[in-house]
Chains A and B, each alone.
Chain A
Amino acid sequence: MAIEIEQPSSVELSKVAVSETHGENSPYFAGWKAYDEDPYHESNNPSGVIQMGLAENQVSFDLLEEYSEQHSEAFTWGKGAPGFRENALFQDYHGLQSFREAMASFMEQIRGGRAKFDPDRVVLTAGATAANELLTFILADPGDALLVPTPYYPGFDRDLRWRTGVKIVPIHCDSSNNFQITPQALEAAYKEAEAMNKKVRGVLITNPSNPLGATIQRSVLEEILDFVTHKNIHLVSDEIYSGSAFSSSEFISIEEILESRKYKNSERVHIVYSLSKDLGLPGFRVGTIYSYNDKVVTTARRMSSFTLISSQTQHLLASMLSNKKFTENYIKTNRERLRKRYEMIIQGLKNAGIECLKGNAGLFCWMNLSPLLEEQTREGELALWDSMLHEVKLNISPGSSCHCSEPGWFRVCFANMSEQTLEIALKRIHDFMQQRERQRKPISSQ
Chain B
Amino acid sequence: MTQTRTRPTTEPERPKPTAATAMRLIVPLQGVVQGRGGLILGSLIPCALFYFLQFYLKRHRSPNPSSDPPSPSTPSSNLADLPRTSSRSNLSSRGSFGPVRVSSRAGSLAKADDSTYYIGLNKVKEDPYHRTNNPNGIIQLGLSENTLCLDLIEKWVSENLTDSIMGSDGGDLSISGIAAYKPFDGMTEMKVAMASFMSRVIGKAVSFDPSQIVLTAGATPAIEILSFCLADHGNAFLVPTPYYPGFDRDIRSRTGVELIPVHCRSTDNFVFSITALDQAFNQARKRGLKVRAILICNPANPVGNILPRETLYDVLDFAREKNIHIICDEIYGGSIFGSEEFVSMAEILESEEVDKDRVHIIYGLSKDLSLPGFRAGVIYSYNDSVLAAAKKLTRFSSMSTLTQRLLISMLSDTRFTQEYFETNKRRVKEIYDSFVAGLKQLGIRCSESNAGLYCWADMSALIPTYSEKGELELWDKLLNIAKINVTPGSACHCIEPGWFRCCFATLSQEDIPVVIERIQKIAETCKSPS
Contact A76–B105 (Cβ < 8 Å): no
6 contacts between A and B (CB under 8 A): A14-B232, A14-B235, A56-B181, A85-B147, A141-B104, A232-B101
**Pair A284/B400 contact, Cβ less than 8 Å:** yes
Q: How far is the CA of A293 from the CA of B174 in the complex (A)?
A: 40
Indicate which residue in A89, A120, A282, A294 contacts B370 across the interface (CB closer than 8 Å): A89
A285 interface residue per 8 A CB criterion: yes
User: Is B232's CB under 8 angstroms from A310's CB?
Assistant: no
* Per-residue contact bits, chain A 283-295, to B (CB 8 Å; 1 contact, 0 not): 1111000000111
Contact between A126 and B397 (Cβ–Cβ < 8 Å)? yes
Q: Of A130-138, A252-260, A339-347, A366-374, which stretch is located at the interface?
A: A130-138
Interface flags, B234-257, vs A, CB<8A=1, else 0: 010000000000000010011000
The yes or no answer to A121 lying at the interface (CB within 8 A) is yes
Specify which chain B residues have a CB less than 8 angstroms from the CB of A16 in the assembled complex. Answer: 228-229, 232, 389
Which residue from B109, B153, B401, B402 sits with its C-beta under 8 Å from A84?
B153
Tell whether, in the assembled complex, residue A310 and residue B217 are in contact, meaning their CB atoms are under 8 Å apart: yes
A90 at the interface (CB under 8 A from B): yes
Known A-B contacts A129-B396, A312-B400; A295 and B229 likewise in contact (beta carbons under 8 Å): no
Interface residues of A (CB under 8 A from B): 8-18, 22, 24, 54, 56, 58, 61, 64-65, 68-69, 72, 75-77, 79-81, 84-85, 87-91, 118, 120-121, 126-127, 129-130, 133, 137-142, 144, 159, 163, 165, 201, 232-234, 265, 267-268, 276, 280-286, 293-299, 302-303, 305-313, 316
- Give the chain B neighbours of A310 by CB distance below 8 A: 217, 373-375, 399-400, 402-403
Within the complex, the shortest CB–CB distance from B98 to chain A, in Å, comes to: 6
Which residues of B from 483 to 530 have beta carbons under 8 Å from A?
A: none
B99 closest partner in A (C-beta):
A232
Q: Which residues on B sit within 8 Å (CB–CB) of A24?
A: 392
Whether B167 and A68, one on each chain, are in contact in the complex, defined by CB atoms closer than 8 angstroms, is: yes
Contact of A137 among B99, B103, B320 (CB under 8 A): B103
Collect the chain B residues with CB atoms within 8 Å of residue A139's CB: 102-103, 106
Is A17 a contact of B182 with CB atoms below 8 Å? no
Q: How many residues of B contact A (CB 8 A)?
A: 87
Closest chain-A Cβ to B256's Cβ sits at a distance in Å of: 8
Q: Are B370 and A268 in contact (CB under 8 A)?
A: no
Give the distance in Å from the alpha carbon of A121 to the alpha carbon of B1 in the complex: 8
Q: Nearest Cβ in chain A — how far from B47, in angstroms?
A: 32
Give CA–CA (A265, B98) in the complex, Å: 10
Q: A247 to B230: give the CA distance in the assembly, Å.
A: 48
Which chain B residues numbered 247 to 288 have a C-beta less than 8 Å away from chain A? 250, 253-254
Residue from the list B1, B170, B179 in contact with A120, Cβ < 8 A? B1
Flag if A312 contacts B403 (CB, 8 Å).
Answer: yes
Please give the distance in Å from A200's CB to the nearest CB on chain B: 11
Give Cα A68–Cα B177 distance, bound, in whole angstroms.
13
A267 and B372 form a contact (CB under 8 A): no
Q: Shortest CB–CB separation between residue B499 and chain A, in angstroms? A: 26
Is residue B163 contacting chain A, with contact meaning CB distance below 8 A? yes
**A293 shortest CB reach to chain B, Å:** 7
Given A65-B176, A267-B100, A312:B389 Cβ within 8 A: no
A121 to B4, CA, bound (A): 12
Partner of A88, one of B3, B218, B230, B373: B373
Cβ proximity bits B378-404 to A, threshold 8 Å, 1 near / 0 not: 000001011001001101111111110
- Across the two chains, which residue of chain A brings its CB closest to B370? A88
Q: Bound complex: CA of A303 vs CA of B6, how far in Å?
A: 15
Check A141/B154 contact, CB under 8 A, given A17-B228, A17-B230: no
**A14-B229, A138-B103 known; A90-B373 Cβ under 8 A:** yes
Q: How far is the CA of A312 from the CA of B230 in the complex (A)?
A: 32
Indicate if B158 sits at the interface (CB-CB under 8 A).
Answer: yes
Q: With a CB–CB cut-off of 8 A, which chain B residues contact A234? A: 100
Counting chain B CB atoms within 10 Å of each CB, which of A56, A69, A141, A299 scores highest?
A299
Q: How far does the alpha carbon of A233 sit from the alpha carbon of B170 in the complex, in Å?
A: 48
Would you call B317 an interface residue if the criterion is a C-beta within 8 Å of the partner chain's C-beta atoms?
no
6 additional A-B residue pairs with CB within 8 Å, beyond A68-B167, A88-B370? A16-B228, A17-B389, A68-B175, A296-B106, A307-B397, A313-B400
Measured CA separation A203–B36 after assembly (Å): 49
The reply to whether B385 and A298 contact each other, CB–CB distance below 8 Å, is no
Are B373 and A267 in contact, with the CB atoms below 8 A?
A: no
In the complex, are the beta carbons of A75 and B161 less than 8 A apart?
A: yes
Cα A137 to Cα B180 with chains together (Å): 28
Are B174 and A133 in touch, CB under 8 angstroms?
A: no
**B375, A308: Cβ atoms closer than 8 Å:** yes
Contact between chains at B228 and A294 (CB < 8 Å): no
Most buried by B among A22, A79, A163, A312: A312
Interchain CB contact under 8 A, A306 and B224: yes
Docked complex: B202-240 residues within 8 A CB-CB of A: 217-218, 220-221, 224, 228-233, 235
Docked Cα-Cα span, A91 to B375, in Å, equals: 8
Minimum CB distance partner of A130 in chain B: B396
